[in-house]
Amino acid sequence: MAKKIVIVESPKKAREIQKFLGKDFSVKATIGHFKDLPEKEMGVDLENFDPKFVIKSTNHKKLLSEIKKLAKDAEVYIATDPDREGYAIGYFMYDELKNRAKEIKRAEFHEITPQHVKEMIKKAPKFEETNFGLFEAFLGRRVGDRIVGYILSPMASKEIGGRFSVGRVQSPAVRLVVEREKEIQNFKPTPYYVLSVDLEKDKTQFKAFYHKQKIEDKKTAEDIYNAIKDTKTAVVKDITTKEVKQNPKPPFTTSVLQQVANSQLRFSPEKTMALAQDLFENGLITYHRTDSVRVSPQAIKKIRQFIKEYYGKDYLPARSRVYKSKNTQADAHEAIRITNFVPLEEQEKLIKEKGLTEDHYKLLKLIYQRTIASQMKEALYKRTTATFDINNHTFKTTGSILVFDGYKKVYNIEDKEETQKLPELKKGEEITKTGQHLEEKWTKPPPRYTEGSLVKKLEELGIGRPSTYATIMRTIKERGYVEKEGNSLKPTQMAYELIEYLDKKHNWVVDYDFTKKMEEFLDYVEQRKKDWKEFVQQLYQKTQSVETPVVSKKMLNYALDLAKKHNKDISDILNDPKKLKEFINLYRDTKPTEKQIQYAKALAEKTGLELPEEVLQDKDKIKRWINKAKKEAMKNYQLSEKQKAILIKNGKEELINQPEKALKWLENYFKKRGKRRR
């Protein structure tokens, strides 16, 4: 009998690993979570929050009994998935075997390949030396979610009438879908007018648009249209040509893979995760639950070697690209990448050999493209912007020519550049005008969320983690809160009723900021900086009180200032946060400052981005536009040779391809130097 036992979750993974390790090992599967809170009762002592975990099924009981027999006096390697959920399954198994096995170790497999599996078995530490904070974070999540669900769901069902479920993370997700639908319903389309001309030179035809792309007033649009009607030529006022670089995106994290697979392949997050699970277990990709964009130095070396051999050295940047995750903790894991550095045709053969499907191949192809592209050279465009005078009215056109495809040779899915071809133009010359068009268009409401864009929004708000996005999507569909229309999510009547109820009675459950703080609390629990029971206690206390919203001092002062400015009496609503908020929204100043307007115009000139008139009229819109334009400006910013030399001299060469960070670092560097001189 084998005296070395390896325990994983899935039978498929067990069979694959058994092949690598041979007859000295026996590889067994737990078949997912074999222990959980009981199905038909709370299973948590509300005095001390101790949970009661039970074996899930008779099948699991049988499996556990078999593993216990095998583990007697054996060397056991618990190799469940390298995340909280996987660690929890491993911890439960450790607890069952610690008095039977000779020794228990913890192995983490980030890819199911022979070399990696053997290496991780060799390096496996004793289970007692691993981070129990992972299990405590699991306890916090599982017990906290059970308390919220078991206390608030019956309450909601009784008070609304019907069968409703409330969840710490699912309910904020439902709120997002409901709020977006209300935005769409309340949206009032307004007309605007787009004026364009057809121009021609040397048999090359192209379009130019009136410099204000959206003309709000119909009469103004018609006056300009009539003013240029009889003019047969356009005079070139100005031409600028610049080289624009487009850098590849980092390799996939879980949420970005779900977003791209949803928009490109129409896969739901659950389907994407099921396919990725199979690809991982068959040794074709690295672990698929991660919020890291880091790739190991060994893998980078292999990717670069592959690019050089398969695409040629012209596609290989001088230095490897290093991507850093927003969350530094995430870098313990790698991004989702391929494990076999072979061409796409070979990847397809591997899919067939493993008996996988066409959908598996489609997802693997996306991961292959993004992995390889992430280490390739940037794409280069020659972008020409020209302005024309037609009877004292300015028109503008942009044309781009792809000079070098770079990473787009492999991954050309997002970041489309307009590639209208322009003829050679000279300042002052006259171009033939062959036609003109005036179109009436209507502003459009924001689009409904797709599963992909909802995952993106949850990630932006800090709600949920890589392992939970797919479950959230499945739950809100199964519970009848959203329906799919095409690829979009539409809230049901139940969703409106639930959110209205929670908004009034238990606002904290659907408060995005509170949910984010709770996720951060669990991260601290994982790092052993916070106690999981404190997390659960906070949630329990919240379920016991129906909150009355409080008016903050800041809100009150702002409302009083507005009332004074607009000569309004608000004495009767000073203690009513809802009515105060409505008053503020009605009277707050939405006009941007002159300084903001001038800065936005300067950025528009610099980046070539369209600056719609509506943006210049709204404080919030102009802020968002400026942030977007600053990022765009940074994409094309070139550091001087002197700046690069300073970075290299100070060991900061990794910032050369990150101009925004480089400029911040250089600013601090010169400040310090200045202080020293003084």
Question: Can you list the alpha helix ranges (DSSP code H) found in 527-650?
Answer: 532-543, 553-565, 577-587, 594-607, 619-635, 641-649
Evaluate whether 9 touches 103 at the Cβ level (below 8 Å): no
Res 288 pLDDT > 80: yes
pLDDT > 70: what percent of the chain? 96
- 3-class DSSP state of 575: coil
Q: pLDDT band at residue 414, thresholds of 50, 70 and 90? A: low
Q: pLDDT band at residue 648, thresholds of 50, 70 and 90? A: confident
pLDDT > 90: what percent of the chain? 71
Res 470 pLDDT > 80: yes
Residue-level pLDDT at 653:
77
Res 237 pLDDT > 70: yes
Res 245 pLDDT > 60: yes
Per-residue pLDDT reduced to its tens digit, 306-330:
999 999 999 999 999 998 877 655 4
Per-residue pLDDT reduced to its tens digit, 160-190:
888 999 999 999 999 999 999 999 999 999 9
Residue-level pLDDT at 621:
86
CA distance 429 to 411: 40
The average pLDDT across 532-553 equals 82
Question: Which tokens in the block code for residue 297?
Answer: 């130095």
Residues labelled as active-site residues: 287
Question: Chain-wide mean pLDDT for the chain?
Answer: 90
Residue-level pLDDT at 329:
52
Angle, helix 469-478 to helix 451-461, in steps of 10 degrees: 120
- 3-class DSSP state of 94: helix
Higher pLDDT, 23 or 664: 23
Res 667 pLDDT > 90: no
Print burial letters for 192-214: b (CB count within 10 Å at least 16), e (below 16).
bbbbbbebebeeeebebbbebbb
Evaluate whether 280 touches 364 at the Cβ level (below 8 Å): no
Counted residue by residue, the chain has a size of 678
Res 416 pLDDT > 70: no
Res 616 pLDDT > 90: no
The average pLDDT across 222-251 equals 94
Per-residue pLDDT reduced to its tens digit, 359-387:
999 999 999 999 999 999 999 999 999 99
Residue-level pLDDT at 645:
85
Q: How far apart are the first and last CA of the chain?
A: 77
DSSP H or E segment with residue 384: strand 379-390
Residue-level pLDDT at 164:
93
Question: Scanning the structure block, which residue is given the tokens 């809802």?
Answer: 578
Question: Which tokens in the block code for residue 538?
Answer: 């906070």
The average pLDDT across 219-225 equals 96
DSSP per-residue string spanning 4-61: EEEEES-HHHHHHHHHHHGGGEEEEE--S-SEES-SSS--B-TTT--B--EE--HHHH
Evaluate whether 29 touches 8 at the Cβ level (below 8 Å): yes
CA distance 475 to 146: 15
Say which DSSP state 338 is in.
B
Residue-level pLDDT at 154:
92
Q: pLDDT band at residue 94, thresholds of 50, 70 and 90? A: very high
Which residues touch 629 (CB under 8 Å, ≥6 apart)? 600, 603, 604, 606, 607, 609
Per-residue pLDDT reduced to its tens digit, 578-601:
788 888 888 887 788 888 889 888
> Quick count: other Cβ atoms within 10 Å of Cβ 175?
22
The average pLDDT across 270-280 equals 95
Residue-level pLDDT at 618:
83
CA distance 200 to 206: 6
